[in-house]
């Protein structure tokens, strides 16, 4: 995939998606391969909200994925909470060969957030992503002029060499103008990459993401099918389609991603929350009626359903 602007997709199907996805080792390896083969540079691995995996099989999957894709970036989990309760997390991350870690900062516990940011930056072995959780509340602090503490965290992160500072719409309360305000505020504190993690409870994920992309954002998070906590996250396949149609990315072959999304859907606990792949196929491809009927009738265990569409 050839982006026309500096933006990286960080896919979190194998972390945030695990609120719905229940996948064995082989399926996790298959998902990671499809993402990396397409050109996704960053894949996050873990278990729901937590830093860590839920079983030995998850750790085996991470080790195998690392071995299969030595040049790609891997993150275990997404959020570091309560470092004192996870004293071996840094060593475990080294043992697994991970490249970056994400550190949570809560608007109502900034002193603790500062401690975790400094501890992770001081490790020196990882790229550090600083996550401003509940960013809508950070926006309120800025609007009220009560932002000295958050400014210190941003400046400390920049001075310590953080890879990226993330706007995190944890409960889908932000509007595009909020994304713009916080993006510009972070930029005013220093030169740093900025990322965006959307949730879609209020159906604002795409509007906010598109505003972020137009601002020149550097990282954006996705999942296959938009799965994730609540009503889910920003959907990878639909985002690619949006970027292509709006001129921010070159046209690409997404058939294998679509096929892999079927695998993900079939391993979800609540399939009704998964974005409708067949309806999406109708928006992307001029499908004759008889071809679309074949897609609709394809059994769940048939993995290669969409490749022929790209060939047309």
| Structure-model confidence comparison of residues 223 and 275, the more confident one | 223
Q: Which residue has the higher pLDDT, 293 or 161?
A: 161
Instruction: Determine, yes or no, domain membership for 300.
Output: no
Comparing C-alpha atoms, which of 240, 261, 251, 253 is closest to residue 305? 261
For 94-153, write each residue's pLDDT tens digit.
Answer: 888 889 888 889 888 888 888 889 988 998 888 999 999 999 999 999 999 999 999 999
**What is the 3-state secondary structure of 221-274?**
EEEHHHCCCCCCECEHHHHHHHHHHCCCECCCCCHHHHHHHHHHHHCECCHHHC
Whether 275 has a pLDDT exceeding 90, the answer reads no
CA distance 20 to 18: 5
Tell me if 288 is assigned to some domain: no
* pLDDT band, very low/low/confident/very high, at 4 (cuts 50, 70, 90): low
Domain of residue 239 covers: 8-276
pLDDT of amino acid 69: 94
For residue 38, how many C-alpha atoms fall within 13 Å in the half-sphere facing its CB? Answer: 29
**pLDDT at residue number 129:** 93
Q: State the burial class of residue 99 (Cβ atoms within 10 Å of its Cβ: 0-12, 13-18, 19+).
A: middle
Please provide the average confidence, as pLDDT, over all residues in the chain.
88
- pLDDT of 59 > 60? The answer is yes
* Number of structural domains found in the chain: 1
What pLDDT is recorded for position 272? 75
Do the domain assignments include residue 286?
A: no
pLDDT at 57: 83
Residues 6+ apart with CB under 8 A from 286: 312
pLDDT at 199: 96
Q: State yes or no: pLDDT of 83 exceeds 70.
A: no
Note the pLDDT tens digit of each residue in 64-82.
999 999 989 987 655 555 5
In a domain, 311, yes or no: no
Quick check: is 302 in a domain? no
Hey, which bits of the chain come out as E strands? 8-11, 42-45, 73-76, 100-105, 127-132, 164-168, 194-197, 219-222
- Per-residue pLDDT at 217: 96
- Assigned domain for 1 exists: no
Mean pLDDT of 29-38: 95
* Confidence band, pLDDT 50/70/90 cuts, at residue 58: confident
Any idea what the CATH number is for the domain that residue 270 is in?
3.20.20.70
Residue 287: inside a domain: no
Nearest residue to 239 via CA among 276, 265, 198, 206: 206
Q: What pLDDT shows up at residue 192? A: 96
Q: What is the mean pLDDT of residues 22-49?
A: 89
Task: For residues 70 and 147, give the distance between their C-alpha atoms in angstroms, rounded to a whole number.
Answer: 40
Phi, psi of 235, deg, nearest 5: -80, 125
pLDDT at 293: 83
Percent of the chain residues past pLDDT 90, beyond the cut: 54
Q: What is the pLDDT of residue 53?
A: 56
Is 295 within the bounds of a domain? no
């Amino acid at each position: 995939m050839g982006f026309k602007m500096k933006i990286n997709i960080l896919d979190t199907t194998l972390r945030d998606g695990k609120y719905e996805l229940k996948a064995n080792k082989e399926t996790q390896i298959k998902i990671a391969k499809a993402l990396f083969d397409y050109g996704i540079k960053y894949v996050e691995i873990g278990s729901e909200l937590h830093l860590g995996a839920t079983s030995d099989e998850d750790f085996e999957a991470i080790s195998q994925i690392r071995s299969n894709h030595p040049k790609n970036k891997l993150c275990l989990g997404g959020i570091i909470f309560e470092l004192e309760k996870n004293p071996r997390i840094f060593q475990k991350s080294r043992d697994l060969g991970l490249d970056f870690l994400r550190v949570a900062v809560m608007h109502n516990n900034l002193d603790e957030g500062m401690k975790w940011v400094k501890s992770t930056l001081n490790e020196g072995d990882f790229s550090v992503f600083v996550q401003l959780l509940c960013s809508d509340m950070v926006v309120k602090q800025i609007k009220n002029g009560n932002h000295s503490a958050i400014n210190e965290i941003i400046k400390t992160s920049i001075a310590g060499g953080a890879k990226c500072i993330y706007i995190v719409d944890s409960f889908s309360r932000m509007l595009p103008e909020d994304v713009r305000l916080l993006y510009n505020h972070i930029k005013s504190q220093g030169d740093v990459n900025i990322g965006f993690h959307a949730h879609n409870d209020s159906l604002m994920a795409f509007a906010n993401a598109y505003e972020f992309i137009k601002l020149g954002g550097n990282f954006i998070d996705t999942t296959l099918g938009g799965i994730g906590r609540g009503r889910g996250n920003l959907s990878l396949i639909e985002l690619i389609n949006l970027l292509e149609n709006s001129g921010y990315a070159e046209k690409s072959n997404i058939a294998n991603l679509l096929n892999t999304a079927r695998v993900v859907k079939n391993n979800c606990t609540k399939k009704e929350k998964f974005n409708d792949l067949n309806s999406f196929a109708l928006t992307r491809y001029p499908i004759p009626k008889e071809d679309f009927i074949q897609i609709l009738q394809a059994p769940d265990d048939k993995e290669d359903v969409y490749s022929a569409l790209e060939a047309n």
